[in-house]
Amino acid sequence: MEITFLNDWSAWEPLARPWNDLLARSAADVPFLRFEFLRAWWSTLGGGEWPDGELWVAIGKEQDGALAAAAPFFRTSSRPGALLLIGTAEIADYLDLVAPAPSVEPFARALLEALPRSVLRGVDTFDLWNLLETSSGGQALARAAAAAGWSVERERLKPCPQIALAGDWDGYLDTLEKKQRHELRRKMRRVEQTPGTAFIRAGDGMELAAAVEGFLELMKFDAAKSRFLTPSMHAMFQALAKDAAQGGWLRLEMLTVDGRPAAGAFCFDYGNRLMIYNSGMDPAFQALSPGWALLGHLIRSAAEEGKVAVDFMRGDEEYKLRLGGEIRYIERLTLRRGSS
């Protein structure tokens, strides 16, 4: 497989459609690897997470010139000598190679072979964050690196609990412990029986930009999230919401009380999964348990829509386990050339 590196936005942008077409056939089809997400991230360097960046997107092509595999790399002065994946480290919960299953192994080998021959001076490391431990791309890269005499370091990062749905809402409830099942039903019933409450999804009568602003205000009630929401991060959320909505995979849901947002969830309705990316709550409504009620509403709707899973993504918050989340882990994979 022939590998080239694109280090200019104008060379990468025309590949938007074939990139997403390739991702749809890939072993790791996640929203964080869609061209729209990568563009939103790159436009703000992860909401200001990185001070600078230099684009180095790896493109693998077949002999006929067709796009066969890809990896959205970048360089930054704070990680000299390394290539990182766009989305590193806090913004994209899952990262990987963009390659159909049969192309993963040859692409991994080709990447390692291409690096020393490329125009990337002084780069000898792939520093890859947020790969699922079961990632075929990560496993293929580790095997290829070991075979080529590179050093391979693996570091377990954070858990990513996920609820497996194998039926309807009642079937999901049956998987919970009796106490938790009763508590969830009680909290949902209390909200649904409270006058003036409503679940509202952005796009159904809510102007998107205003809905995102309302959601970000809910996030700011949490001190850590408030610090996280710098002006650049704020801009990235708005850009991401717009692109995801246009692509049909945004689900921004609010629980309101008398028209006032009490809790919100920024989700990706992606393929056969509902992925809960971030959430926020107004503590003024804490007695109503709006966060729990909203989560229950989301899980119920996902079950009714035939989703196979609700992915809570990165984080070890207790509620994710209480709601039946089964833990998976992401890892950091560091490959260094010329070490043993």
Cα separation of 270 and 237, whole Å? Answer: 17
In this model, does residue 113 exceed pLDDT 60?
yes
Average pLDDT, the chain: 95
pLDDT score of 204: 52
Share of the chain above pLDDT 90, in %: 93
- Determine contact, residues 168/299, Cβ cutoff 8 Å: no
| DSSP code for 124 | -
Q: What is the pLDDT of residues 282-330, one digit of tens each?
A: 999 999 999 999 999 999 999 999 999 999 999 999 999 999 999 999 9
Cα separation of 300 and 312, whole Å? Answer: 14
Residue linked to tokens 């039903």? 185
In this model, does residue 219 exceed pLDDT 90?
yes
Q: What is the pLDDT of residues 127-163, one digit of tens each?
A: 999 999 999 999 999 999 999 999 999 999 999 999 9
Total residue count of the chain as it appears in this document = 340
| Of 39, 46, 44, 43, the residue nearest 19 (C-alpha) | 39
Enclosing H/E stretch for 263: strand 260-270
Cα separation of 279 and 263, whole Å? Answer: 7
Cα separation of 278 and 295, whole Å? Answer: 12
Cα separation of 335 and 116, whole Å? Answer: 13
Cα separation of 97 and 151, whole Å? Answer: 19
| Of 267, 271, 309, 276, the residue nearest 24 (C-alpha) | 271
In this model, does residue 273 exceed pLDDT 70?
yes
In this model, does residue 206 exceed pLDDT 70?
no
DSSP-derived pairing of the beta strands 151-159 and 329-336: antiparallel
Query: Of all residues in the chain, what percent are helix, strand and coil, respectively (each to 5)?
Result: 40, 25, 30
Share of the chain above pLDDT 70, in %: 99
In this model, does residue 340 exceed pLDDT 80?
no
pLDDT score of 63: 84
DSSP-derived pairing of the beta strands 151-159 and 250-257: unpaired
Structural domains for the chain: 2-158+329-336 (3.40.630.30), 162-322 (3.40.630.30)
pLDDT score of 339: 47
H helix intervals, the chain = 9-12, 16-24, 35-48, 101-114, 136-147, 169-174, 178-192, 208-219, 223-228, 231-247, 290-304, 318-322
